[in-house]
Structure 1
Amino acid sequence: MLKLLIPISLLFVSLFWKGMSSKEENRDIVVCAATPLLNEEMSPDRPTNLVVDAPIALDPTKSYTLPTLTTNSKGEVVLYWTEKDPQNLISLYFSTSKDGKTFGEKKLVFADAGLGTGRLMRPKLLFKKNGDMVAVFSYRPGGATPPREARSATPSHETNHNNHGTQAAPPQARPKRSSEIRFTVSKDGGSSWTTPTSVDTDTSKLIRGFFDAVVLPNDEIAVAYLKDVKGSTKHEERDLRLAVSKNGVFQAERLIDPVVCDCCNISMVVDQSGALHMVYRDNNNDVRDMAHIISKDNGMTFSAPKILYNDKWEIKGCPHSGATSASTKTEQYITWFSGTRNGQSGIRLTNSSGNLLKVLDANAKNASIAADAKTAVWVWEQTSEAGTTSVFYSKVDNGKLLGSQSVNNSNNGQNASSLAYNGKVLIAYEVVTADKKTALALQTVD
């Protein structure tokens, strides 16, 4: 029987309890809350057929986003996500499962109104071989929303007669936006964390974002990100940077590519041989196709950029849509969106050689991919004619793309994450609730 991590609502019970496919295996999936909701605090219209064997993890007053699945250094399943409360405090939590079914008590990593929750800048929770946990996330000092331009309280058509008819003072310029990529470390399994620190030692007020982070074969951390070009007069101009730790301390950032698409997320993965692959959206005279570079020395040097698939998509602006990638024992797979006009516009899936495996139709969006040694799992959102979304997935087994299937009863699902684990596939995603908040759901498919 599947136990769902959603707020109390008759509407969403029907989304997850009816008609499980014979191709989909039901699992009991429970996340225990550190401070559970008591039964007497639950809504009186709570359905009695929603079985709860553990405290409810989800508080209906909060919004839950960016559920992400991974494994720790012990091979256990880890789910991490963000929560936003009515006071706009954003918290990053994680929970661990020893069997991929039942999850233990959630643990707090960091909480602050400035914690980033953008879909293109998902927090990363990393596990080093020495047992350390490292969380990397975007952070905006001063809160999530920068101040707007100060506006005069005096309407422009009115004058101040005590000041000889002069108009109100002009609005002040909007403060320069800035954001950082910060990291925090836990050496005790996530019970306590160090004070978050920027991976970039440059203190200039600049935007840094659209990052990815990985553990390198030498057990150091690499973080790639886009950064504002100092002194640029363009609306947005960013280059690609990389910061790598040494003995746990991040060294000075290095410039990887001076001209890139300015608002698309980066993807990094370490393959089975220990090579670091980085995929990012390049910008060659407004042709914005995906570039692929490889490092075989823990990020010290990289190969020359190679365009994965020559869509020749020319667009005068950033698509705000990057790539995700994953590596099996024998191959790397990459998925991204291209708006090319060659008749193949949409989300595509290729291997590292640029061989095109499939292009999804125009109703697909927000794709991601994960893999174990043998199998890659491709997930995305599919929009129906009625405008609702649901989660679909397809497996790549030994280089062969299998047929796509929907995750049953995943109506209103979005921003999915997947994990191949012990011959099964775990898929976590957000569910848009009736009050426009988002909740979490987690299913296992065979």
Structure 2
Amino acid sequence: MKYVLISIAVLMALCSCNTNSNESEMSTEALIISYQERTAHTVYLTKNHLHQPVICWSEEDTITGQKFLHYSISHDHGVSFIKNKDVPLPGEVKLHPEGMPKIAFRHNGEVYVFYEVSTTSEFNRFAGEIHYIVSKNEGNDWSPPHRVHQDSSQHKAWSFLDVTLLSDGEIGVCWLDTSLSGKGRSLKFARTDSEGNFTNEIIVDSLACECCRTAIYCDALGTIGIVYRDIINDSIRDISVSFSTDMGKSFSKPVCFSGDNWNINGCPHNGPDVTVNSNGIYSVWFTGAMEKGLYYAELDKKGGQTSKRKISDSGTHIQMCLLNNEQRVMVYNEMKKVNEIYHSQLYAQIQPAGKIIALTPGNSDATLPSVTDLTDGFGVVWIEKGKVLYKSVKVM
């Protein structure tokens, strides 16, 4: 694998891209993580059970069309990602950003990789299942694929999974299941049992938006929260949250908190993200309502909105994380016109101060960012011109 460093001149350009950037934030040089001879499709940044940063990304060979999945763990607090682990993928795997392959680590170090696969159906072009495989020896060997969901009926669709480590060390997942009414789809949750199998799936919401990514978290007290795009009053596609205080045995009635009133007869294919601390819940999302843009909201423990602000008028693909100092970082990309050519520039915004950091220059084509906290700041990955790039940013 080859690494490419962004030059000092480019880094200087990054610092001058936005007048709201603060000198107390310092970016490292960007590294190309993916393989040079392949095209990257998705990238996911998370942490393992030891709180080490992990990058998981998918690629496709430009000549053979073969698909690959890799992950790499940083053993130096996000400074570098050196040793890649290869994950076997079936030919029918789906590689799309809203339902990307994801990785999670159980309390005992077992590695779980989740991905979507297409299934044959002459009635439903979206038909597919969510599979997972497990490694019990640090990614050297993998189990046969298993389904996350119990149902395996033909012509149905299961997709848009998110995953989190629960407070008891088990893994919790949520996903969009089959439609129960002919419109939208149900939202479900399941968790691993003591043997590491997913059991006792339950319905969180019987009617959710059918093709937007979901977001799940578990706080230090064991409360599980799921944030997702809901369907309200037939055609309103706003953001809701539902809670479980019994480790996933039951979930509360969903609370719609975004208040956008986005009336659209279709799926935006753009889901929310969420993080949490002892003070509250923090969520980001996109809306195409009258006040179109990216938004950030703070919620109380019951899902009530305590504050809301617009992050960007033209941004997309927003993701967020919580820093060690309790600040919230959100990353997103915005379309920019430079010399009559449109580009996609990557930004980070830090709340509650509202500081904005330009992560890439104005003529970049960066998109699909993912972010996690580091000891003294945050790490961010993205896709640019078919490659996965990573950089760390110190926040004082």
Q: TM-score range by the shorter chain?
A: 0.7 to 0.9
- Structure 1 residue corresponding to 2:256, chosen from 292, 295, 307: 307
SS in 2 for 1:301: coil
Q: CA deviation at 1:278?
A: 0.6
Q: CA deviation at 1:328?
A: 3.1
2:18 matched to which residue of 1?
A: none
Greater RCO (Cα-Cα under 8 Å, separation 6 or more) = 2
2:26 matched to which residue of 1?
A: 25
Matched-pair contact (CA < 8 Å) for 1:91–1:108: yes
2:292 matched to which residue of 1?
A: 345
Q: 2:231 is matched by which residue type in structure 1?
A: N
Against the structure 1 CA distance between its residues 405 and 112, is the aligned structure 2 distance closer, same or farther, given a 3 Å change threshold? Answer: same
1:35 matched to which residue of 2?
A: none
CA distance in 2, matches of 1:30, 1:387: 24
- Structure 2 residue corresponding to 1:182, chosen from 124, 131, 136: 131
1:109 matched to which residue of 2?
A: 87
1:132 matched to which residue of 2?
A: 110
CA distance in 2, matches of 1:263, 1:26: 34
Against the structure 1 CA distance between its residues 130 and 442, is the aligned structure 2 distance closer, same or farther, given a 3 Å change threshold? Answer: same
Q: How does 1:229-378 map to 2 (within 5 A)?
A: 229=179, 234=182, 237-247=184-194, 248-284=196-232, 285-341=234-290, 344-353=291-300, 354-373=305-324, 374-378=326-330
CA distance in 2, matches of 1:210, 1:121: 4
CA distance in 1, matches of 2:99, 2:287: 19
1:96 aligns with 2:44: no
Unaligned runs of 5+ in 1: 7-11, 32-56, 147-172, 433-437
> What count of residue pairs does the alignment treat as equivalent?
372
Which shows bigger deviation, 421-430 or 110-119? Answer: 110-119
TM-score (norm 2): 0.86
Q: CA deviation at 1:276?
A: 0.5
Q: How does 1:156-175 map to 2 (within 5 A)?
A: none
TM-score (norm 1): 0.77
Higher gyration radius (CA) = 1
Once the two structures are superposed, what CA deviation does each residue of 1:325-366 show, in whole Å capped at 9, x if it has no partner?
11234332111112222xx32110001232334213432111
1:158 matched to which residue of 2?
A: none
Q: CA deviation at 1:58?
A: 4.0
Judging by fraction of residues, say which structure has more strand. Answer: 2
Matched-pair contact (CA < 8 Å) for 2:35–2:387: no
CA distance in 2, matches of 1:340, 1:29: 35
Matched-pair contact (CA < 8 Å) for 2:42–2:59: no
Q: 2:345 is matched by which residue type in structure 1?
A: S
Q: CA deviation at 1:18?
A: 5.2
Matched-pair contact (CA < 8 Å) for 2:160–2:176: yes
Q: CA deviation at 1:15?
A: 8.7
RMSD value, Cα: 2.5
CA distance in 1, matches of 2:192, 2:199: 6
Matched-pair contact (CA < 8 Å) for 2:228–2:240: yes
Once the two structures are superposed, what CA deviation does each residue of 1:256-287 show, in whole Å capped at 9, x if it has no partner?
21112111111101123221011111112111
1:443 aligns with 2:386: no
Once the two structures are superposed, what CA deviation does each residue of 1:166-200 show, in whole Å capped at 9, x if it has no partner?
xxxxxxx5676421111111111122221121111
1:405 matched to which residue of 2?
A: 357
SS in 2 for 1:19: helix
SS in 1 for 2:138: coil
1:213 aligns with 2:163: yes
Q: 2:113 is matched by which residue type in structure 1?
A: A
Matched-pair contact (CA < 8 Å) for 1:79–1:95: yes
Q: 1:25 is matched by which residue type in structure 2?
A: M
1:383 aligns with 2:331: no
Q: 1:424 is matched by which residue type in structure 2?
A: G
CA distance in 2, matches of 1:59, 1:312: 43
- Structure 1 residue corresponding to 2:348, chosen from 393, 408, 414: 393
SS in 2 for 1:229: coil
Stretches of 4+ aligned residues off by more than 4 angstroms: 3-6, 12-18, 28-31, 173-177
CA distance in 1, matches of 2:123, 2:260: 38
Once the two structures are superposed, what CA deviation does each residue of 1:404-436 show, in whole Å capped at 9, x if it has no partner?
12114371110011121111211111112xxxx
CA distance in 1, matches of 2:53, 2:126: 37
Q: 1:395 is matched by which residue type in structure 2?
A: I
Q: Percent identity?
A: 22
2:373 matched to which residue of 1?
A: 420
Matched-pair contact (CA < 8 Å) for 1:140–1:178: yes
